[in-house]
Amino acid sequence: MDSSEDRILGIVVEILETQGYDAVQLREVARRARVSLATIYKRYATRDELILAALDSWMAENRYSGVVSHPRVPGEAVYTALMRLYRTLFEPWERHPAMLTAYVRARSAPGGDTLVRRGLDVVGPAMRAALSDVDEGFITDLDVIISNLVYGLSARFAAGEIAITDILPSLDRAVYWLTTGYEKAAGR
């Protein structure tokens, strides 16, 4: 990425964090970045595309950079391994709640599925490593349950129904009970 692109994306992130999604206006971004509006349109065909690029850049730097793929150590509970990964993913949202609000909004905008796919590309290998010796049926069920829980909690936060600090504890309790039940049934 060149310096003007870094500047453009950094300004979009700053606006998202301080003023919100609706405040991102291309003319204002161009003015702050000291580039022409044409420069922005050459790189990003739409406002949504610019916001998606800024979110993707922010998430790569703040959310996904700490994701490490390694199997559970012998005797480590599935719960412990999963929560280590989920904390890595969700603690940045707690420090930057406006970015979660922007993510929820961008996810439903045109092209928003690219954010989801990028997340799966990064998190998938780490998740598979943490669950390497776990039954495939349980992994499938866990994926459906946790994905829907995260989607619902994120949307509720973005709507102002819950605090950002409610997400990780809710996820923690769900993972605890699901994995405890699985391990008990599997005789672990």
Q: Where are the domains of the chain?
A: 3-47, 63-187
> Does the structure show a pLDDT above 60 at 1?
no
Q: What is the pLDDT of residue 2?
A: 67
27-48 per-position pLDDT tens digit: 999 999 999 999 999 999 999 9
Rg over alpha carbons for the chain, rounded to the nearest Å, is 19
Question: Which of the four pLDDT bands, split at 50, 70 and 90, describes residue 188?
Answer: low
Residues 30 and 106: their CA atoms lie apart, in Å, by 20
- pTM exceeding the 0.75 threshold for the entire prediction: yes
Contact 89, 63 (CB under 8 A): yes
User: CATH code for 3-47?
Assistant: 1.10.10.60
Q: What is the pLDDT of residue 186?
A: 77
